[in-house]
Amino acid sequence: MRSTSTFSILFWQYAQRADANNQANLYARISLNGKKANISLKKKLDVSQWDSKKQRAKGTKTSARYLNEYLEEVRMEIFQLYRELKAAHGLVTVEKIKSHYLGENKKIYYLSEVFDFHNETNKEKLAPKTLCHYRTNQKYVLEFIKEQYHKNDYPLHELDYPFILRLESFLRSYDPKKHYRKSIANNAVMKHIQRFRKQIKLAVELDWLKDDPFKKFKPKMEKRQREFLTEEDLQKIVQLKVTCERLEIVKDLFIFSCYTGIPYGDIIQLTHTNLVIGIDGNKWITAKRNKNGIPYELPLLDIPLSLINKYFGHARTKATGTLLPKISNQKLNSYLKEIADLCKIKKNLTFHMARHTFATTVTLSNGVPIETVSKMLGHTKLATTQIYARVIEKKVSNDMQLLRSKLKDQSTQLK
């Protein structure tokens, strides 16, 4: 014999417990086979505005219309839950429907679980340095939780907009003495927030988190001018005579980057397989960016080609199988400070400045089109190149001099 069940949903107001403003709570009542369960809707309404027969708010005001639409959504969601539970389990109770609706049956996920999942699923996709940035970001977030909330972890469902604002404030006031580092600048703080945001977005996509706490957050990046070497500064380094081998290697690596635009992380991985004959019959470098896997092709100028020849057969390159000697990035930037002092260059010389120098002083200022520079740098967007490749004053002066000459010829013809 086929069994039948009676299932219904109704909305009611607990008028007997109205507050001083005559506001009373609204509830949904689930009835199944004579059993009942009430669910608080966390909403209040003036007792005089509730129609108990129609189970709706009275009137046509916007507030009444929104409330009635919400009640209909609740009805449909509860009914859908009932159908799904019946199809999946057969035996359904009002307690089971209520717990599913309130999410009481769901597993509670924590931030550390998102971090672990992100790192595990991205270890083959992201470059080691990029993954290291994420781990640093995760360390900062967990330190913030420990300091702000006195916990070792944080449940995802408790994340909200104030949490994000407090994290931003924590990063901006990060104690440099305690952590032996400079204070975090605005753009670096925004980068950390962006990395954290990507991981929270992953949690939302995995259905570990219902609402995105970043909905209202707007990153505030500051426009910064990228430092580069002028032609005069670059020639000071090119012509610098050093007797110390470590400084000579650092100088050569830096100059190689200035005339190729290849960053440190890619230079130390170049081997003879990356050295090919291009369509013009000259030697080119073809490789992929370590950072994002984007391929790039670069015809070699005489200076970087002479440096490759200089270290061909060198003991250090033979041991590593690379085109140029390897050296740690930390030591590299430390030794660059010595080179800057020897050349009397006042700028904060870092290895990445060589890439900016290639984009501005070596290429753009000598008339190389920005589209060509973008391809050689391995960029996918021209806008990215425009950040690196600012047109320097010398180029502006030369262009205006050409314009001045043309206009002078035209003015002569008018006489």
Give tens-digit pLDDT for 34-75: 899 999 998 999 999 999 999 999 999 999 999 999 999 999
Amino acid identity for residue 66 in this structure: Y
347 touches 328 (CB < 8 A): no
- For the purposes of burial, counting CB atoms within 10 Å of the CB of 368, is it exposed (0-12), middle (13-18) or buried (19 or more)? middle
C-alpha angle 241-245-251 in degrees, rounded to nearest 5: 55
Mean pLDDT value across residues 16-32: 93
Q: Give mean pLDDT, residues 184-209.
A: 90
So what's the pLDDT on residue 342?
92
Grade residue 365 by pLDDT with cuts at 50, 70 and 90.
confident
Average pLDDT over residues 344-353: 89
Span 231-398 CATH architecture? Orthogonal Bundle (1.10)
Q: What is the pLDDT of residue 215?
A: 87
Contact partners, residue 43, CB within 8 Å, separation at least 6: 25, 26, 67, 70
d(CA 19, CA 234): 77
Q: How far is CA 47 from the centre of its chain?
A: 50
Arithmetic mean of pLDDT, 83-107? 79
Mean pLDDT over the full length of the chain: 86
Count the neighbouring beta carbons within 10 Å of the beta carbon of residue 269: 17
Mean predicted confidence (pLDDT) in 297-307: 92
Residue 226 has pLDDT above 80, yes or no: no
Cα distances (angstroms) measured from residue 153 to each of 138, 141, 150, 208, 315: 11, 9, 9, 15, 50
> CA-to-CA distance for 70 and 31, rounded, in angstroms?
20
Q: What ranges do the domains of the chain cover? A: 7-102, 111-205, 231-398
